[in-house]
Amino acid sequence: MVGGTGRIFKTTDGGQNWVRQIVFSGSELCDIDFPSDVNTGYISGDMVILKTTNGGENWEQLSSPPIFLNAVSFPDNNETGYVAGEAGSSGRIYKTTNGGLNWIQQTAASVSGIVDIQFPADDQNGYAVEWAGKILRTTNGGTNWTAYLTDINTYGICFPFNNLFGYVTGGSYGESYLLKTTNGGESWNKLNTPYNNQTTAVCFPNNYDTGYIVGVTGAVLKTINGGGFIAVNIISENIPENYFLFQNYPNPFNPKTRIIYQLPKSQFVSLKVFDILGKEVTTLVSENQSPGSYQVEFDGSSLSSGVYFYRIKAGEFYAVKKFVVLK
């Protein structure tokens, strides 16, 4: 991951620990892309493009367009890549076909800054978003771009595996949205999320169901059904002395309730809901988590009235509690 004042960090244990790599001083870094393996990657930032071929041990500075570059995408480890950003209030997209030695500005129907760009499967089919609510699509390697207008501010884009199935995240103060397409951007469905502020990035790393978006206040949202979101927020980074699963509140509830638990050390956490017969209803958490206290918002709109159980497993810790859906 990258950030302001040239900071670069790397994890090799799924995010439990981060090692600070060589700092590229003098420029803010905004985006990072390792397209096909753990060794070759690219970074974009304020008039800077960096490349590594040894997993981030060393970074080479490539030539760069003289603008603030919010995003970078190299479809694979070949010579073709794209960067996008803004010059003043104008969005710009640039393309290289020789590994970053030269960059050619593309024609894009953009009137505001480009905040994200992705070529998910090849160097011909790609997408970009501008913060003013426009989604751009090319099918000929950036020569032409088609614009799709939305009624929200847009910030992040993700097409996990191919050129048809993708997500765009966005919103403004007081609301957040996830846009979803299954036909390559021809049409977009708007999905609400349980968060009341801007969301700025989206990632579906492994499949079409499980994905994450992040918000400007530090919230992390997770879906395990392609957009039916579960909000998992860390509410305290103070390290607890013991494991504990709290009683949900409110209880009984209709339709939403909050479940809080705490971890004294890093563990793989599983939090699931079961009906009174012991049949699994849904998985709320299934991931490695750092020490701290966590809050999960559960939406029981799809459940019938009745008694249910929620169960947590974290290492050797195991606990079950009961809640009631009352409609």
Taking residues 204-213, report their average pLDDT: 74
Judged by average pLDDT, the poorest of 149-153, 161-165, 185-189, 251-255 is 161-165
What are the pLDDT digits (tens) for 31-46?
998 887 888 999 999 9
pLDDT of residue 180: 84
Averaged over 138-159, what is the pLDDT? 87
Instruction: Please tell me the distance from the alpha carbon of residue 119 to that of residue 137, in angstroms, as a whole number.
Output: 10
Cβ–Cβ under 8 Å, residues 137 and 124:
no
Place of tokens 């579960």: 230
- The 10s digit of each residue's pLDDT in 223-271 is 777 776 566 667 666 788 899 999 999 999 998 898 999 999 989 999 9
pLDDT higher than 90, residue 150: no
Which residue ranges form the domains of the chain, and what is each CATH number?
Answer: 4-228 (2.130.10.10), 235-325 (2.60.40.1930)
Is 90 exceeded by the pLDDT of residue 317?
Answer: yes
**Residue 326 pLDDT > 70:** yes
Q: Which of 193, 177, 75, 147 is nearest to 168 (CA)?
A: 177
pLDDT at 142 over 70: yes
CA 86 – CA 68 distance, rounded (Å): 6
Query: What does the pLDDT read at residue 94?
Result: 94
**pLDDT tens for residues 63-111?**
999 899 999 999 866 789 999 998 776 788 999 998 888 999 987 656 6
Q: Report residue 220 as tokens.
A: 């992390």
Rounded CA separation 60/196 (Å): 40
Q: Tell me the pTM.
A: 0.67
